[in-house]
Structure 1
Amino acid sequence: MEVYLDGVLQTTADTTSGARLTQQVIYSARGLPQGTHTLRAVKRSGTYMLVDRFAVTF
């Protein structure tokens, strides 16, 4: 899975483990300026992508 923040690739994570792992932090960002931001997760392999949660705090 690729994670983009404001159109810039932040990380590529291999989430194809044989075991289903829940509540794992894939990406975290701190110190963003106030305003609107866009977070995009792109599945690059497999049939589907499960997301447990997105959390935004400030």
Structure 2
Amino acid sequence: MGRSPGKQSGADGKHLAQVEDPDEVIIHEPETCSACGADLTGAEIVSEEVRQVFD
């Protein structure tokens, strides 16, 4: 039997780390609820996501 496909258990992972000071920051703030259309001005922030795009 050979090894299973993909990363092997215990092998080092490879990734690109996020930069501390990005060239551009885009903040997405919806103005209305996509489900009911309610105004979201002043609404509580319930979650945040950080993503990074590499060229």
TM range (shorter): under 0.3
State the TM-score, normalizing by the size of structure 1: 0.23
Higher alpha-carbon Rg: 2
Compare the two structures and name the one with the higher strand fraction.
1
